[in-house]
Amino acid sequence: MKKIIFIAFILLGFHVTGIAQKANLQNAVVVGLFDRKDERFQMEILLSELLLENKIKAKVSLNFLKEGADVTALANDSVQQLIAKSGFDTYVLMAVRGYDKKFKPATQKLPLGEELSLGHLFPIYREEISNVTFEFKFYKGNEMTGYSMVKIPASSKESMLKKFRLKMGKQIKKHW
C-alpha cells in the first residue's frame, strides 16, 4: 500500500512539473493591437526590448509592414513568407483586455487573420483607473498556441509603463 501511494506521489509530481514548464519561446514578431499608432509603436518596442533582454529573438510588426498599413496585412501570405524568411515563426499579439476587473482567460481560439481583424478599442491608459489587464496571444502559423494575461497597477501612464517593464520581465523569464 505504501508503494502505491509513493508511486502516485511521484507520478503526480511529474504531472505538476509538466504543467509548469516554460512556453520555450525562441523568436517572436511582436504585434500591438491598439487603436492609436503611437501606443502601438510604444508597446511593441517595449515588449520586443524585454524579449531581447531575455535572449529571445524579437522584431516589431512595423518592420514587416509598409508605412500606414493595417496589422491585418500580417495575415497575407506574402508578408508571412517575408517574416518566415527573416527567421520568425511565432507571433505575439498584445492588447488591453480591460481595466479594474478580474478577467477570465479567453477560451476562443481564432485563426491569426480573424484575431488581427478584431477591433481593439482600449487605450493603454485612462484616467481614474487602478489597473490595466494586458493579454498576450501566441501564434505559430495560423493557430493560437498559447495565452497569457498580466494585470499592471496604473496610477499614471509613466508609472504603469515602468511597472509593465518590471512585471513583464519576470513573466517572460518564468513562463515564456
List the grid coordinates of 163: 511597472
Query: How open is the CA angle 161-163-164, to the nearest 5 degrees?
Result: 60
| 61 domain residue, yes or no | yes
pLDDT, position 23:
59
| 58 domain residue, yes or no | yes
- Indicate whether this model's pTM tops 0.75: yes
Average pLDDT, integer, range 155-176: 92
Q: Please tell me the total count of domains within the chain.
A: 1
| 56 domain residue, yes or no | yes
pLDDT, position 35:
83
| 126 domain residue, yes or no | yes
Tens of pLDDT, residue by residue over 5-64, are: 444 444 444 433 333 335 578 999 999 998 888 899 999 999 999 999 999 999 999 999
pLDDT, position 100:
81
List the grid coordinates of 151: 494585470
Average pLDDT, integer, range 75-86: 92
Tens of pLDDT, residue by residue over 138-156, are: 999 889 999 999 999 988 9
pLDDT, position 43:
95
Average pLDDT, integer, range 59-70: 88
| 89 domain residue, yes or no | yes
* CATH number of domain containing 62: 3.40.50
| 31 domain residue, yes or no | yes
Closest CA to 74 of 12, 4, 24, 137: 137
Range of the domain at 113: 26-175
| 143 domain residue, yes or no | yes
pLDDT, position 22:
53
- Please say if the pLDDT value at position 167 is more than 70: yes
pLDDT, position 68:
76
| 6 domain residue, yes or no | no
Tens of pLDDT, residue by residue over 101-135, are: 888 888 889 999 999 988 777 888 888 888 999 99
The 3-state secondary structure of the chain, one letter per residue: CHHHHHHHHHHHHHHHHHHCCCCCCCEEEEEECCCCHHHHHHHHHHHHHHHHHCCCEEEEHHHCCCCCCCHHHHHCHHHHHHHHHCCCCEEEEEEEEEECCCCCCCCCCCCHHHHHHCCCCCCCCCCCCCEEEEEEEEEECCEEEEEEEEEEECCCHHHHHHHHHHHHHHHHHHHC
